Amino acid sequence: MDGVLAEVTESYRQAIVETVAHFTQHRIERDLIQDYKNQGGWNNDWALSQKICLDMGVELPYETVVEYFNEIFIGPNHGDGLISRESWFPKEGFLERLGQRYGLSLFTGRLKYEADITLKRFAPNVLFDPMLCAEHVEKAKPAPDGLIEIQRRKPGAKLWYVGDTVDDARSARAAGVPFIGIVAKNHSTRADILRLFDEEKAIAVVENVNEIEELL
C-alpha cells in the first residue's frame, strides 16, 4: 500500500523524522530512513524509529515510541495528523478498471485502522479481497505469511505482488509469487533499489502503479 497506492513521504516517513527528533534532538534526513529500509527487515516504522534513536544513543521502550509516533501520525481527531498529508498514486478510475479484470487483494504492514483512514479517503468504492494488515499475520514482511494466506483464500489463482521495498520483494520470493517492483525515476536511491529488486528476481520494475495496466 505505502509507496504503491499512497504517497507516504509526508506521513509515515515524516513521522519517523519527527519521532527521532523528539527523542534525540537531532533531525535526520529522509535518505537515512531509506538506507535502513534498503537493508531489509524494517517494514515496521515504529521499530525503525526506535532503532534509529538507539543508533543515535537514545534507548527507548517500544511502547514509548509507538505512543508518540501515533500521536503525531494519526492526530487527535483520528485522521488529522501527518496521515492527512498523504496523496494517492492511482489515477482516477485506474483501480476500478483493474478490478473489473482482476481480483484485487491488499497485504500491508499497516494496522487496519490506519489503512482504513486512507482507503476511505481515496478509494471508498474499491474492494480488496482479502485485505490483510499487520494484525492479521503472525510474522510481518519480509516473511511471506500474508501472501501465503492470500494464496490459501484464492486457490488456483495466479498472483502478482506489487511493492516498493526489498521486504516486499523478499516476501514475494519466499511465497513463490511473481514480484513487480516500483521505484520512481527520481528516487534518491534508485540504483540501490533496482539492484535489490534484481537480486530478488523481480519480473518487472515500473515507475508508478499506473504503469502496471500495460504489463498485464
Cell 481527531 sits at which residue? 77
Instruction: Report the pLDDT value the prediction gives residue 168, as an integer from 0 to 100.
Output: 98
Whether residue 171 contacts residue 142, with contact meaning beta carbons closer than 8 Å, is answered with: yes
Other Cβ atoms less than 10 A from the Cβ of 190: the count is 14
The candidate with the shortest Cα–Cα distance to 213, out of 123, 98, 117, 122, is 98
Report the amino acid identity of residue 71: E
Q: What is the mean pLDDT of each run of 10 residues along the chain (216 residues)?
A: 97 98 98 97 97 98 98 96 98 95 97 98 96 97 98 96 98 98 95 98 97 87
Instruction: Report the pLDDT value the prediction gives residue 215, as an integer from 0 to 100.
Output: 84
**Residue 21 contacts by C-beta under 8 Å, 6 or more apart in sequence?**
27, 28
Instruction: Report the pLDDT value the prediction gives residue 106, as an integer from 0 to 100.
Output: 98
Domain ranges of the chain: 6-85, 90-215
For 36, phi then psi, to 5°, come to -65, -45
How far lies 42's CA from each of 6, 100, 117, 150, 209, in Å?
Answer: 18, 34, 23, 22, 22
**Residue 42 contacts by C-beta under 8 Å, 6 or more apart in sequence?**
36, 48, 51, 167
CATH class of domain segment(s) 90-215: alpha beta
